[in-house]
Copies of this chain bind each other. A is one copy, B any other.
Amino acid sequence: MKEVVERMRPLFYPKSVAIVGASDNPTRFGYARLKCLLDFGYKGAVYPVNPRLAGKEVLGLKCYGSVLDIPDEVDLAYMDVSARTALSVLRDCGKKGVKAAIIFAGGFSEVGDEGRKLEDEIQAIAKETGMVILGPNCIGVTNLYANLCTFALNLGNLNLDARSLEPGKISLIAQSGTLSVSFLLLSLVRGFHPGKIVSSGNEVVVTLTEVLEYFVEDPDTKVIAMYIEAVRNGRKFIELCRSTTKPLVALKAGKFEAGKSAARSHTAAIAGSVEVWNAVCKQAGIIQAESFEELYELSMALASPLRPHGNRVAIVSVLGGPAVIASDACERQGLRVPKLTEESVKRLRQILPPIASVTNPVDTTGSVMENINMFRDALEVVCQDPNIDMIITMPPIMHAPSLINISRAVVDAARQYGKPIVVVWALPFGVKMREFEEAIRILSEGEVPHCYMPERATKMLSALLTQTELEKKKAKARGF
């Protein structure tokens, strides 16, 4: 096993957690953080620490006056204290032999020289003790494989039972706490869950590049998503990216002048130029996302195990307008919408009603709502067509049973024929409809990516195509 996996273990899979600054006041982060950890169903030992509450109970757990008072070993310590206090607590952690720590507080190098000095001290402690320190100015780690979440989410507000969240294949490194939470929440709405999320903050000890190294080695991570304001160790970063065939998707912010100065005050990093970044992505084999939602959606597409053999797309739609938009969007993305074979056209004519369109895009018409076999058979014909590499399909929007039936048929077809399929909903996420939620669950479980509005689907398919080429190129470079 690679050294990085062993080194990062206490951060991602701690056997015990101390929450320094734990509070009995529900309005404080020190309370929310503890509650969130318990709500996620974390199974290791949890030790609240707060001198003011020493000997009392917080959320049913005995509170200690100092980490030094904890009778057992501590793998991971949360520092829910101010910048200045964090340093003295960190020294205690060093004495105690704590293996990893997360510093949440801001007020370090991003605010000036005084903060920079504090960071130097953190670095010195890390060097001396070997402690793995994440932050400061971050929100830490979520690892659904270990029921671990340091994000202080109020799950009551979210109507969420976090214990039952299935861990997924996507891991995210984000130089933004907000976007770490946002990614997690987006995945709850959209159905493809992440496995691990890291908010890396000011990266005094653990850097984005080191987390990347860990994700490259982590067997549960199949897709690596990144929100990057600045890379501190460029050469190593590029080497790592080139070394892996795991899909890498990145959203780079701070590309432009205005963004750069904002990034500087955000995490105290120096951001590079657009051109430099584009060159890095090309060299390193990184797929670029143009927005945060796209970062999630491309990760979702790449988390599906299917890869296309070419750029030829069939559109199988119950809907007219979105099919037209999808055709346009394919062309804009350099994807082709070719003719189906004569054989396919003949078979489709037998299957579909006379008013259906049996050219590509295939417009099944709404008749399939009353006859799911019709949709299933038409989809099969298209999947079997040798002219077709990938499929975009669009279920009807208001017919509840077909939402579920079509989702099932799509999952079956993707499994059987091995061609990537993306489902495009004309139903906006957030519409209150039980069957829609169920359909999303079916697709996610079946690893069929899905999105709202066709332009997104073509970007997803285009990313699949790029990744397929990257995988070939990387495999070849390694001499396979």
Contact = CB atoms under 8 A, between A and B. Distances in A.
A271 to B, nearest CB: 8
A359 B265 contact: yes
Contacts of A292: 322, 325, 453
Contacts of A433: 157-159
Given A255-B328, A258-B327, A320 B453 contact: no
A103 interface: no
A258 B328 contact: yes
A253 B328 CA distance: 7
Interface stretch (A12-20, A90-98, A173-181, A406-414): A173-181
Q: How large is the interface on A (under 10, 10 to 19, 20 to 34, 35 or more residues)?
A: 35 or more
A45 interface: no
Number of copies: 2
B182 A331 contact: no
B254 A428 contact: no
Given A153-B398, A322-B179, A431 B185 contact: yes
Contact of A321 (B27, B157, B177): B177
A370 interface: yes
A290 B325 CA distance: 10
B453 A323 contact: no
Given A253-B324, A322-B176, A324-B262, A106 B158 contact: no
Nearest to A452: B293
A407 to B, nearest CB: 16
Nearest to A322: B178
Contacts of A106: 355, 365
Nearest to A432: B159
Interface in A131-146: none
A227 interface: yes
A359 B265 CA distance: 9
A259 interface: yes
Interface in A19-48: 27
A417 interface: no
A355 B111 contact: yes
A320 to B, nearest CB: 4
A59 interface: no
Nearest to A107: B355
A374 interface: no
Contact of A361 (B186, B188, B262, B365): B262
A40 to B, nearest CB: 14
Contacts of A227: 321
Nearest to A365: B106
Which of A177, A255, A319, A428 gathers the greatest number of chain B CB atoms within 10 Å?
A428
Contact of A158 (B315, B320, B431): B431
Interface in A239-268: 251, 253-263, 265-267
Given A154-B400, A259-B325, 20 more contacts: A106-B365, A154-B398, A157-B398, A157-B433, A157-B434, A176-B322, A178-B319, A181-B397, A182-B428, A186-B428, A253-B325, A254-B327, A256-B328, A257-B331, A262-B315, A262-B324, A262-B337, A265-B357, A291-B455, A292-B453
8 contacts: A157-B400, A160-B432, A185-B428, A251-B325, A253-B321, A259-B325, A265-B363, A293-B452
Interface of A: 27, 106-107, 110-111, 151-154, 157-160, 174-179, 181-182, 185-186, 188-190, 227, 229, 251, 253-263, 265-267, 290-293, 315, 319-332, 336-337, 354-355, 357, 359, 361, 363, 365, 370, 397-398, 400, 426-435, 452-453, 455
